[in-house]
Structure 1
Amino acid sequence: MTIPPPPTEPPTAGMPTPEPEPVAEWWRKDGPRIPAPVQPSAPDAIVHIPVPVGVGGPASMASMEETAAAFWAPVGRILSEQVPAMAAQIGQQVTQLMNETEAQRSAREQVEYEARIAAERAERDALFAAAGESAAQRAERHRVEDVLNPGHRRDDLVGMVDLLAARISETPEERTARLETERELDKRRRRAREDAERAAAGETPEQRTRRHRQQQLADKREAATRARRERRRAAREAGPSDRVRRFRRWCVLTAISAVGGYSTGLVQVITPGGPYVGLLLAAFGWGLDTHLRDRGRLRVSEVRGARPLVLLVLARIPVAAGLTVALGLGNVLAALPLY
């Protein structure tokens, strides 16, 4: 087979040349020209046709209501489970607050508290027993825990209302007693911690007993001093009638001491020295009397009892004798029908 040679001219040779068309300004006048959709060449070709949102059909998206319902379904399920339980608990507490008496509430709280404390103590005992704790160590630990136990108080709505009502309705005397009780409990806790620390440091039972006895004596002295200061404070805050009564009592006791000084001859001995010697003796006696009366914290009018009064009169003889000589009342005492 022979291959013909290539043609010398292109196939378009001799055809008229098309004239160039002017540039159309359609983008400025008529806007863009949207070409017509191309029809598929095959009947089974896949063509994407845009569908508006919300139009039904198997390929359509879910509506806004369905999306919101799907989002809030778990929240509604959780609320439906939790809200009734919370409402029941609050209703139970309000019912207890409104209908339960104080004795019933205290008994129920005490039972719950004891049950919880017993369970916690049993758990701790099991842990310490596994660590090798002996029976004596367990008994000592229980004693310290009982001392350090601050009590129980409800931390819910009922407890808050009870605490608020107690603080509002308490009197100054009740508040003082409550503070004293809290102070005493705090002192016991501190001493229990001190006992544990000293026991760990090697303190013997005899030493602990001796230290406890000294602490008890110090507590008694502290209580007596506090009571005496409270009485003095109350006396200072008293009205004028109490002040007049105290002054009269002071005058009577001083007069009795002056009579005793005249009977013992102390007034006659210092009378030749004059008023200045009397003032000197009165100052010396006042210093001794103040020292015996807890440096002046115990007033003369506050002394009670036969024996304290006799001791007070005897201790104030130098004061009364010095005042008698300084004021020139020796002749008055000599004129009394007692001699």
Structure 2
Amino acid sequence: MSTRIPQVDFGRRVLVLRRRRIAVRLQWRSVVVCAVLAVAVAGTAVLALMTGSYPLSPGQVLSALTGRETGIVHDIVVEWRLPRVAAALVFGAALGVSGAVFQSLLRNPLADPGIIGFSHGSYTGALIVILVVNGTYVQLVGGALLGGMATAVAVYVLAYRRGAQGFRLIIVGIGVSAMLGSLNTWLILMADLDQAMSAAAWGAGSLNGVSWDQVVIGGACIAVLLLLAGMLSRPMRQMELGDDAAASQGVRVWPARLGLILVGVALTATVTAASGPIAFISLVTPQIARRLARTAGITLAPAAFVGALLCLASDYLAQHVAPTPLPVGIITVVLGGGYLGYLLFTEARRRL
């Protein structure tokens, strides 16, 4: 009779990067997953730049990107197709990180900025700027940010009862999201026909009208916000253990939570101002990234890469696989609707 010796778990292999007094610990599996996702993102980006009414070869695309190709090929790649691809990558990464932040803070896989109303609030603020002020992109970002923050405050106040529990925040957020959806529809119906048609098309979540100006301005804002999210990632992971445990480890819980909420709402608002509300990427991305990296909690870097890949692939399907070109938001709704149903079913079973 043989006796099975239990194996001892010595933890996961980590990569430690040190520079003077700064040390960063990275799990090897997360590094490998991010590298594989980066290759997939690069391949999908080249495919998107190749495909269109004027097909190109990979060599032509690479030559145009490196400046060795001039004329019509350069214009097609750099001026026409590259802004859309860059926007899909940057905005997808922003939505992935935003979803990861809120799902980590609320410790619930249903905590998506779209479901809990923050995206609808940003859309409301942007709609007011479009229909009333007819403002610039910078004003759109400001309006979307104010709308998202006002919605976040309203949801938190309405859900507060001896603290704000994650599931209660989600239920209140769903109700606020429905109310804001009705308000957005009323704003569009009361607008002029041309403005209403433009706002309705933009509200589906589309990258059709994205220009280099929006990519540069939005990308700069998103880069700063991603840097801030990375700086707050350690207290975010510690707060997943609970506020008391995080405080015992030296985390200033309320400033860290406020900073993470501001970063998450600002990421969603920046994307919404440029392309409209692209649904479900923030919901699906963090859970896919967590399963790929096999981490105990939600990590930001894999979520950013998965979000970029998902947004770019969805836009490619919307433009080149669908019978007619569609807004990217329609494809993400189709892909994310089934996943939302799965999450609702599993959450209901867990609470029985």
Fold conserved between structures, TM > 0.5: no
Higher relative contact order (CA 8 A, sep 6+): 2
* TM-score normalized by the length of structure 2: 0.24
